[in-house]
Amino acid sequence: MTPENLQQFIRVLDDEKQLHRVRAEVDPRLEITEIVDRVSKAGGPALLFENVRGSDYPVLINAFGSYRRMELALGDQSPAQIAARVEKQLHLRPPGDFKEKIRMLFSLKEMADILPKKTKRAPCQQNMATSGPLLDSLPVLTCWPEDGGPFITLPLVATKDPETGIQNLGMYRMHKYDNTSTGMHWQYNKDGARHFRKYRERKEKMPVAVALGGSPAVTYAATAPLPPEIDELMFAGFAASRPVSVVKAKTVDLLVPAESDFVLEGYVDPGESRIEGPFGDHTGFYSPADVYPVFRVTCITWRDNPVYPATVVGKPPMEDCYMAKATERIFLPMLQMLVPEIVDMELPMEGVFHNCALISIDKTYSGQAKKTINALWGLGQMASTKFIAVFDKDVDLRDSPTVVWKLLNNVDPRRDVLMSEGPLDALDHSAPYPDYGGKMGIDATRKTRQEGMGRDWPEEITMDAATMEKVTQRWKEYGF
């Protein structure tokens, strides 16, 4: 079964020998980050810091930082298994556009089994405070030397569209300013920012609730690239094969995961903003300070014996890379429904998931690779991908030497490179303008005459099957 809360997840990690407990006192300013960075880069375990200076609460970190731990977070399922379930649902009946394809996942008879279940009593509301130490009670990390301050790095931010009433659960870093306020880093294309703009037009304060901890499946769902109409809590129920329990927040009209360890309640005033950052980001560079809305905390609730969840981002690979790899696998069937020639996709960790996409296709006609590139640049989060390289279906995209070999040998720069411009990820520091810059598509497939190949494409060198089998059978005779 999928862990319902962090306490269960910690027990699972312990049983699987995927957890290391640190009992020595550690400083949440920089020291934890340096420990985590070394462990993460070495492929080490999740870490539970039990004695954090200045706080009564332990810190769980690197909990998602391996392929195996991602499987455990999702109920001992691989992302490929969840992707197979997604694909099965998508093929039950012919859907229309992209939104309908995804909406179809949640419009079948099993919807009742994945819809969030409301409860009146919840662990996350066993304790409550509206004054005294609020944010100051939490072991919020200062991760890197030039960070603007401490940051809450694994928050589940609940907001509501004031027109439709549809909730969203997103993950946006939160720069802690003081005991009762943080920055709210809503990038321009995020659902939280879309909701905020509507409240600003209405000149109304925006209610916000921030959950910390709880079910690891819910934490993952908050990072997933879902359309605005799809509830992340419902997607978490689908991924976990059981519904998420939710409860109405104490002081704002929002539903929050009942098994959360902490819930911060408050509001964002459209008339208030402040410098947020800098922040050592997942690109491996500091993202610059800029003006963002301010979140005012008016209430905090928490469960008995809570654990504070955190993550550290920086030069890859780090914990967030494994979460993004799960998204790559789980959402591939949806991408294939929209662009059916796609066979596989690889988002290299070094490309920090928005800078580079490697795609293989079943090429059946001239120009298909460039058609695929343009199609991907028109889709959701793929629209901000800076480099897209397309290969034939027989290329293993995870075989880096072969990928580089094909890229360097199959491409004529004048004929096969497609230059464009458009939206980019807000964290792309190489772009000439914020959120906007150049893009490159590369056709690394075999070329046809119609694509400008003025001579026959050569045959790739391969040994005949009979000789390969003969050598395999006699391998020991050769003394190897």
Mean pLDDT of all residues in the chain? 91
Rounded mean pLDDT of 188-212? 91
Write down the pLDDT at residue 427. 80
Position 230 scores a pLDDT of: 75
What b-and-e string marks burial along 328-347, b requiring 16 or more CB atoms within 10 Å of the CB? bbbbbbbbbbbbebbbbbbb
Structure tokens at 53: 């200076």
Say yes or no to pLDDT of 344 above 70: yes
- If we measure between CA atoms, which residue out of 80, 49, 83 comes closest to residue 63? 49
pLDDT of residue 342: 96
**Tens-digit pLDDT profile for residues 256-308:** 999 999 999 999 999 999 999 999 998 889 999 999 999 999 999 999 999 99
Supply 48's token pair.
């539970």
Q: Which of 147, 191, 261, 281 is catalytic?
A: 281
Whether 205 shows a pLDDT value over 70: the answer reads: yes
pLDDT of residue 435: 83
Q: What is the mean pLDDT of residues 153-166?
A: 94
- Catalytic-residue membership of 281: yes
pLDDT band at 99 (very low <50, low <70, confident <90, very high): low
- Band the pLDDT of 103: cuts 50, 70, 90: low
**Best CA proximity match to 61, nearest among 355, 311, 301:** 311
Alpha helix segments (H runs only) across 298-390: 319-330, 332-338, 368-376
Model confidence at 226, pLDDT cuts 50, 70, 90, reads confident
Q: So what's the pLDDT on residue 468?
A: 97
**Tally of CB atoms within 10 A around 149:** 17
Q: What is the pLDDT of residues 382-431, one digit of tens each?
A: 888 999 999 999 999 999 999 999 999 999 999 999 999 988 887 888 88
Q: How confident is the model at residue 102 (pLDDT cuts 50, 70, 90)?
A: low
Q: With the CA atoms of 375, 229, 331 and 350 taken in that order, what torsion angle do they form, in degrees rounded to the nearest 10?
A: 80
User: Strand pairing partners for 175?
Assistant: 151
Statement: residue 434 has pLDDT above 90 = no
pLDDT of residue 109 exceeding 90: no
Mean pLDDT of 98-121: 70
pTM of the full structure: 0.88
3-state secondary structure of 250: coil
